[in-house]
């Protein structure tokens, strides 16, 4: 449930979700003004192409409804989600936007698309046949996108199938609103695959004159203007992940995550911590137990043991290592090197923030920023700045 805190000042307004802060193990802060700034930056970089927004996976873990509401307020009129359930939620937030469903047309769902004015991203001749049969009988004139596979080998019609479908443009009510494809490795400009895909897609696009075309994701926007075409589809960059790996991040950070210290305890030399006793104190130690675990999306592989150091959380401005196995709901941190009595029950440790962005957190956990964001727990209290 979202709760609006009334404020005449947008920058101080807050939208909250999840459990009350005092009841939650952690507090996730989402800066909607930074999200808005990121979308406007990407819109400026890709102009005159239309800048859409990908809000799948619950707005990349940040909350579909508040994210979409801010982007719509900023001027975004086209959105992409993964599935129908997300699309139906989104339609309640933005009744007048174009909403594309990336996972395509599930069997027997054509009427749902019509009822909610949604657009499937069709990626097979079977889907297209079902869509055409429905529109012929129902006289529904809603549109769809055609996904052409140029090398990803996931969803999408083949280049040959796309060429065979092209003559349908001769029909007055062909229904095709967007021709699209997906880059394999646009975050690596030196990779020749992007140029190969653009050439392949350009040849198909020539058969679909008058239909808007789209291939650029977040990183694709930074490849070259030739990749922008008519519509760009930024996703993860909106939420602060670096779309240009190896270069300074051009995006503003959007999320901050702090988790609560439940207890501070002292250990004697030789005592162990956590399941299976994998970490042993090699000195008298102080341990802070924080209320976050793998059920909250903090991966068990970040545990610390006698054989390898664990990942770190930031406590009182300093990185403190995880010791012992990460459990479902709790993590132990070694705070021995912090000043005595500086950490108390009710204090917070920082997972994302204080100079550590989503990408750095992902690298620390052996994954990527995408997975960090989309694993954010709904057990956290959520505060939306600028909502």
**Tokens read off for 327:** 């459990």
d(CA 249, CA 237): 9
Concerning whether 275 is annotated as a catalytic residue, the answer is yes
d(CA 65, CA 90): 7
pLDDT at position 352? 97
Catalytic residue among 56, 100, 384, 385: 56
pLDDT at position 15? 65
Sequence-ordered alpha helix ranges (H) in 232-289 = none
User: 336 to each of 169, 261, 313, 320, 356, how far by Cα in Å?
Assistant: 70, 15, 14, 9, 22
Residue 29 neighbours by CB under 8 Å, 6+ apart:
255, 256, 257, 258, 353, 382, 383, 384, 385
pLDDT at position 11? 43
Provide the whole-model pTM: 0.93
Give residue limits of the domains in the chain: 32-239, 255-356
Query: Strands 213-214, 176-180: parallel, antiparallel or unpaired by DSSP?
Result: parallel
Task: Please choose, from the candidates 97, 52, 358, 63, the residue with its C-alpha nearest in 3D space to the C-alpha of residue 217.
Answer: 52
- Phi, psi torsion values for 114, nearest 5 degrees: -65, -45
d(CA 348, CA 27): 9
CB 123 within 8 A of CB 99: no
Task: Please choose, from the candidates 273, 383, 247, 276, the residue with its C-alpha nearest in 3D space to the C-alpha of residue 334.
Answer: 273
19-43 burial by CB neighbour count: b if 16+ within 10 A, else e?
eeeeebbbbbbbbbbbbbbbbebbb
pLDDT at position 186? 86
SS3 state of residue 296:
helix
Query: Which secondary-structure segment (H or E) carries 286?
Result: strand 285-290
**Tokens read off for 234:** 């930024």
Crossing angle of helices 84-93/64-74, nearest 10°?
A: 50
**Tokens read off for 21:** 């802060």
CATH homologous superfamily of domain 255-356? Lyase, Ornithine Decarboxylase; Chain A, domain 1 (2.40.37.10)
Crossing angle of helices 64-74/32-46, nearest 10°?
A: 50
Instruction: Flag residues of the chain having pLDDT under 70.
Output: 1-15
Task: Please choose, from the candidates 78, 27, 20, 87, the residue with its C-alpha nearest in 3D space to the C-alpha of residue 53.
Answer: 78
| Domain 32-239 shares a fold with domain 255-356 | no
d(CA 126, CA 110): 13
CB 54 within 8 A of CB 373: no
CATH class of 32-239: alpha beta
d(CA 40, CA 71): 9
Catalytic residue among 4, 92, 247, 275: 275
CB 290 within 8 A of CB 260: yes
Q: Count of residues for the chain?
A: 387
pLDDT at position 7? 36
pLDDT at position 188? 80
Residue 327 neighbours by CB under 8 Å, 6+ apart:
274, 275, 293, 294
What HEC string does 355-386 produce?
CECHHHHHHHCCCCHHHHHHCCCCCCEEEEEC
């Amino acid at each position: 449930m979202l709760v609006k805190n009334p404020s005449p000042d947008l920058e101080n307004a807050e939208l909250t979700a999840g459990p009350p802060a005092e009841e939650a193990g952690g507090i996730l802060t989402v800066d909607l003004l930074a999200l808005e700034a990121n979308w406007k930056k990407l819109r400026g970089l890709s102009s005159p192409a239309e800048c859409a927004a990908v809000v799948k996976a619950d707005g990349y873990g940040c909350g579909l409804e508040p994210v979409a509401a801010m982007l719509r307020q900023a001027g975004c009129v086209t959105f992409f989600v993964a599935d129908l359930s997300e699309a139906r939620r989104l339609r309640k937030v933005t009744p007048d936007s174009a909403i594309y469903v990336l996972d395509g047309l599930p069997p027997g769902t054509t009427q749902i698309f019509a009822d909610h004015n949604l657009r499937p991203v069709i990626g097979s001749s079977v889907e297209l046949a079902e869509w055409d049969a429905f529109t012929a009988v129902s006289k529904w004139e809603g549109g769809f996108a055609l996904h052409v596979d140029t090398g990803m080998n996931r969803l999408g019609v083949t280049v040959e199938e796309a060429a065979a479908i092209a003559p349908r443009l001769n029909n007055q009510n062909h229904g095709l609103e967007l021709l699209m494809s997906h880059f394999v490795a646009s975050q690596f400009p030196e990779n020749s695959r992007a140029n190969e895909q653009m050439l392949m897609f350009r040849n198909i696009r020539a058969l679909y004159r008058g239909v808007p075309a789209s291939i650029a994701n977040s990183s694709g926007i930074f490849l070259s203007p030739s990749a922008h075409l008519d519509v760009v589809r930024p996703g993860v960059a909106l939420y602060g992940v670096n779309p240009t790996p190896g270069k300074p991040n051009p995006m503003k950070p959007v999320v901050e995550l702090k988790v609560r210290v439940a207890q501070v305890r002292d250990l004697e030399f030789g005592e162990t911590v956590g399941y299976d006793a994998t970490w042993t104190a090699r000195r008298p130690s102080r341990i802070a137990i924080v209320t976050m675990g793998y059920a909250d999306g903090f991966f068990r592989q970040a545990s610390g043991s006698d054989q390898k150091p664990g990942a770190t959380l930031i406590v009182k401005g300093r990185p403190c290592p995880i010791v012992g196995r990460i459990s479902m709901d709790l993590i132990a941190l070694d705070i021995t090197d912090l000043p005595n009595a500086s950490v108390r029950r009710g204090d917070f440790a920082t997972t994302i923030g204080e100079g550590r962005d989503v990408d750095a957190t992902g690298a620390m956990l052996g994954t990527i920023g995408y997975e960090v964001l989309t694993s954010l727990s709904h057990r956290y209290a959520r505060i939306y700045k600028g909502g």
